Structure 1
Amino acid sequence: MTSSLRDLKVYTTYPHSCSYLKDQEATTLFIDPRQEVDQLLYSRLSTMGFRRSGNHIYRPHCGQCNACIPARIPVAQFRPNRSQRRTWTRNSDLTVEASPGIRDQEAYDLYYRYIELRHADGDMYPPDREQYHSFLNNAWDCTRYFRFHAGGSLLAVAVVDVLVDGLSAIYTFFEPDQAHRSLGSYAILWQIERAREQGLDYLYLGYWIRNCDKMAYKSAYRPLELYIDNNWTAEPQRA
């Protein structure tokens, strides 16, 4: 198969309500779902700010708004701050193992609790098993699943895509009654270390949105690179 950007067809959605910013309309650019995709093409599109949901590759394409900015961490340069070091230490009892998939009841039950208690205001509520499988499926043989355990209990699952130049953090869901552990933050720190161990350059985090708390947290991982005007550039340090 030839991975060619030149021959790609793309489509845009009709304007719809934005999932992140109140009173905003969003338009999404999709790669033709009939397009054959392999790891190389998917990786190249990721460097251009595209993301995947299930087997759909997309990028925001809003006419009046450019708030959704692709973000990635150059893992060799990353240095954890004090809070992140505490999170790493606090979760030192966790064991992480690779899993061939997440179709089992234990993983789905964890996802169900997570959506019910943490994201009842989001697009994935109410949780649905078919949507769960469609969203987190094993795309183009480059998706990996990691389970985080403590004391025999499943506490978190990270869904990660392996790209040519990095890892892409697709989704993490975790035990909502373990807030003191900051499991979402720990999963990002763990993926940064995983990328380093594999000799990869980046951890792709999806979209950074300054005025959306659900997305602005990514600024805590520094240095952070943002894809602006078709170039990756370091996010300016805050005063």
Structure 2
Amino acid sequence: MILYPDSYLFSEENQLELNGQLIHHQHAWLLQIGDEELDLMFENGWRRAGNVFYRYSYDTHEDIASDGQPMQVLPLRIPVAEFTLTKSQAKIWRKNADFSWNLVSGRPSETHHELFLLHRERFERNAPDSIFDFITTTHESLPTRGLLLDVYDGDKLIASSLIDHTPKSMSSIYAMFHPDYGAYSLGVHTMLLEIYAARQLGVTFYYPGFAHHEPSFYDYKKRFNGLQWLDWRDAMDWLPYERLKGRTEKE
């Protein structure tokens, strides 16, 4: 992997043992990264929060781990050309058809910060402090070329996604929505809009973040057609993801 020597600090791959499970994790601090290098990092299972890029094999956060047991992390991606709507996603798309949206390069406004404060009320524990837990104050240009995907009900901002973008990849960093719109499945809706935008831009891969092998509140990400997952500690091949056991949806 080629990176600029004056703009990064990589850790060695670290290991720790928790409740009998060996956990691998690695992080990097990057001031700036080019499109080709960012594509390589996505392809190898990396995510980012601000200037910190990271990947780890098991989740140990107290609000996520099941009965204190680490949960296997599944980096996810969707080849954009292979995506099709499920029946439930098509229903969400139709239900939200009157909402407008746009995709812009820029940094969050005061309205975005107000939406974030409303969104974080849904967290009972470990609520994030700020949008800048996830992006930098120079989101539009450093360390990547960041985008904002905003959803409006009339003039009211009701959802927003923070996104990384290259000509080849689109990666969702963080999504937030207004709590008054819980009935509209805006978390899924913003993902559908991101995939639609990626297709319009000619992007090859959409990265929705990660889920867990075990059931968790990220399971909605595992219900998308064309989904692939990566075990970056093993063969480094992206593999088709089978639907949640016992759940199927017609395309």
Scaled by the length of structure 1, what TM-score is found? 0.82
Quote how far apart the aligned CAs of 1:134 are. 4.3
Quote how far apart the aligned CAs of 1:38 are. 2.2
Q: CA offsets per residue over residues 18-39 of structure 1, 9 Å max, x none?
A: xxxx9x89663102x2675222
How many matched pairs?
Answer: 226
CA contact (8 A) 1:94 1:150 kept: yes
- Aligned match of 2:109: 104
**Residues 214-229 of structure 1 aligned to structure 2 (within 5 Å):** 214-228=217-231, 229=234
**1:91 lines up with 2:90 in the alignment:** no
Query: What secondary structure, in the 3-state scheme, does the structure 1 residue paired with 2:114 have?
Result: helix
2:11 maps to a residue whose letter is V
Quote how far apart the aligned CAs of 1:163 are. 2.8
Query: What secondary structure, in the 3-state scheme, does the structure 2 residue paired with 1:160 have?
Result: strand
Query: What secondary structure, in the 3-state scheme, does the structure 1 residue paired with 2:143 have?
Result: helix
- Aligned match of 2:81: 76
- Aligned match of 1:175: 178
Q: Aligned partners of 2:57 and 2:217: how far apart in 1?
A: 20
Query: What secondary structure, in the 3-state scheme, does the structure 2 residue paired with 1:222 have?
Result: coil
Q: Aligned partners of 1:177 and 1:15: how far apart in 2?
A: 41
Quote how far apart the aligned CAs of 1:207 are. 1.3
**Residues 70-219 of structure 1 aligned to structure 2 (within 5 Å):** 70-116=75-121, 118-121=122-125, 123=126, 125=127, 127-129=128-130, 132-137=131-136, 138=139, 139-219=142-222
2:76 maps to a residue whose letter is A
Quote how far apart the aligned CAs of 1:236 are. 2.6
Q: Aligned partners of 1:49 and 1:220: how far apart in 2?
A: 19
CA contact (8 A) 1:54 1:136 kept: yes
**Residues 46-57 of structure 1 aligned to structure 2 (within 5 Å):** 46-57=42-53
Name the CA shift for 1:177/1:30 in 2 (closer, same or farther; >3 Å): same
Scaled by the length of structure 2, what TM-score is found? 0.78
Q: Aligned partners of 2:223 and 2:57: how far apart in 1?
A: 26
1:29 maps to a residue whose letter is Q
Q: Aligned partners of 1:159 and 1:25: how far apart in 2?
A: 32
Q: Aligned partners of 1:219 and 1:34: how far apart in 2?
A: 29
Q: Which structure 1 residue ranges, 5 or more long, are not aligned?
A: none
Quote how far apart the aligned CAs of 1:105 are. 2.2
Query: What secondary structure, in the 3-state scheme, does the structure 2 residue paired with 1:177 have?
Result: helix
Query: What secondary structure, in the 3-state scheme, does the structure 2 residue paired with 1:68 have?
Result: strand
Name the CA shift for 1:232/1:207 in 2 (closer, same or farther; >3 Å): same
Greater Cα shift, 203-212 or 165-174: 203-212
CA contact (8 A) 2:57 2:73 kept: no
- Aligned match of 2:11: 10
Q: CA offsets per residue over residues 90-131 of structure 1, 9 Å max, x none?
A: 111111123454443221111111111x2232x3x1x534xx
Q: Aligned partners of 2:120 and 2:15: how far apart in 1?
A: 27
Q: Aligned partners of 1:181 and 1:168: how far apart in 2?
A: 22
Name the CA shift for 1:119/1:26 in 2 (closer, same or farther; >3 Å): farther
Quote how far apart the aligned CAs of 1:187 are. 0.3
Quote how far apart the aligned CAs of 1:86 are. 0.7
CA contact (8 A) 2:77 2:205 kept: yes
The root-mean-square deviation of aligned C-alpha atoms, in Å, is 3.1
